[in-house]
Amino acid sequence: MHGIVLLDKPLGLSSNAALQRVRRLYDRAKAGHAGTLDPLATGMLPIFLGEATKFIQHVISAHKAYRATIAFGSETATADREGDIVVSEALPTATRAELDTVLLRFVGRIHQRPPMYSAIKRDGVPMYKLARQGEQVEVPEREVEIKHIEVIAYSPDALELDVICGSGTYIRSLGVDIGRALGSAAHLAELRRRWVSPFETLPMVSLETLNDSADPSVYVLPIDRAMTQFPAITLDIDALTELKFGRRVTGRAENDGRYRLYAIDGSFVGLGHDRRQDHAS
């Protein structure tokens, strides 16, 4: 079985634990997921099985959408509700109009400092392991992209947001930064990933549904569904033969020099790269 399962990761389960359950269910030696979700978070976790793992990188770097609930009044060591409180402040007094003005600061390309409790590695060791050992390490800021923020609900003690962001964005850090910008303190209370591009309109499946299914293969998407952002090219038999021998074939892409390759019968061959664009000025 080779393909992609759009798992609805449950609360309290790590992304790796969820991955291993799906891998065992489909009896695959190779499997991987596109974008870690903390145990606190729920929602879409694309799991790639077998040969599909070769294409994970094209989804890891894609935009993702979240529904986040931010609690005001305190910051925690982990920047979410599971950590010990390290800062307490009065609740924000901003009006809705003032809130909207503050949120505009966080839309676009911004600099963000990831939380200490994160999977980012220093000298090969995840930061969260260093934090658990009591080490205080300054996590460097990095540039991330937040494409869209929409307020769903706002009260003095909490803020519910829809966020669309690029790869590497930490919603926990966003919550902390918003709290500080409002003159208060904040941490992430709840988080659900609504979708991962290019799967915006596709349904997720729960572990319970997979376990209870008489035929879990019906929940496996074809590999090429992860690459719909690239134009498609159909190769005739001669071109396909040339490609198999490592020779160049004709065809030019319109999107970053990459394109999906198909045989005449419609079967997916792989992802191609137009090397002529490497030298384009």
Cα torsion through 235, 238, 240, 244, rounded to 10: -160
Q: What is the CA radius of gyration of the chain?
A: 22
State how far the Cα of 141 lies from the Cα of 143, in Å rounded to an integer.
7
Structure tokens at 215: 């035929």
Q: Which of 8, 38, 224, 274 is catalytic?
A: 38
The span from the CA of 240 to the CA of 228, in Å, is 21
SS3 content of the chain, % helix, strand, coil (to 5): 25, 35, 40
User: What are 251's two structure tokens?
Assistant: 């065809």
Instruction: Report in angstroms the alpha-carbon separations of 31 from 22, 129, 212.
Output: 9, 24, 21
Separation CA 232–CA 261 (nearest Å): 6
Please say if 38 is a catalytic residue: yes
Exposure pattern of 85-110 as b/e (b: 16+ CB <10 Å)? eebebebbebeeeebeebbeebeeeb
One-letter amino acid of 127: M
Helix (H) or strand (E) holding 42: strand 42-49
Strands 186-196, 3-9: pairing is unpaired
Sole residue written with tokens 């609360």: 11
d(CA 31, CA 27): 10
| Paired residues of 112 in beta bridges | 142
- Could you list the active site residues? 38
